[in-house]
Amino acid sequence: MQQLDDLDQRLLSALRADGREPVATLARRLGVTRATVNSRLDRLVQSGTVLGFTVRVREENDPRSVRAISLIEVEGRTTDDVIQRLRGFPEIHSLHTTNGGWDLVAEVRTVSLGNFDRVLGQIRAVDGVVNSETSLLLTSVLR
């Protein structure tokens, strides 16, 4: 993984705030040329630091309106296998390894409670998953 310098960090910060901001505007804000912004962006994408560009939707308009955090306990040394299986679930928005009593934390998003129930059952049925605890997210008060 490449080291990110100050300019890379500032560019990523600006893109997190507005991923559609024009290169010329980014260049002015960062005090560099458009060519520098373009080359930095290309390098960040090529290196895998930037995985893609997306849109954020206001929660009340989000079609995936049921959101939850699922804490997952994995049996023995099967974490890598479980991660591979869970990566195939389109409803899992993010997946993190963690320390403590749980091995993985997944953010799950579905269009309905029925779909959520189905996905939760599928997660629990993955070979290597021995326990889980899931909490629905109701209202986001800070993002």
pTM, two decimals, is: 0.62
Query: DSSP label at 129?
Result: E
Model confidence pLDDT, tens digit, residues 37-74: 999 999 999 988 888 887 766 666 565 578 999 999 99
What is 6-46's CATH number, 1.10.10.10, 3.90.1150.10, 1.20.1050.10, 3.40.50.1980? 1.10.10.10
Q: Is the pLDDT of residue 140 over 80?
A: no
Model confidence pLDDT, tens digit, residues 83-134: 999 998 989 999 999 998 999 999 999 888 999 999 999 999 999 999 999 9
The residue assigned the tokens 């995985």 is: 51
Fold of 59-137: Alpha-Beta Plaits (3.30.70)
Domain edges within the chain: 6-46, 59-137
Backbone phi and psi for residue 72, each to the nearest 5 degrees, phi listed first = -125, 130
Interhelix angle for 34-46 vs 6-17, to 10°?
90
Give the largest CA-CA distance in the chain: 53
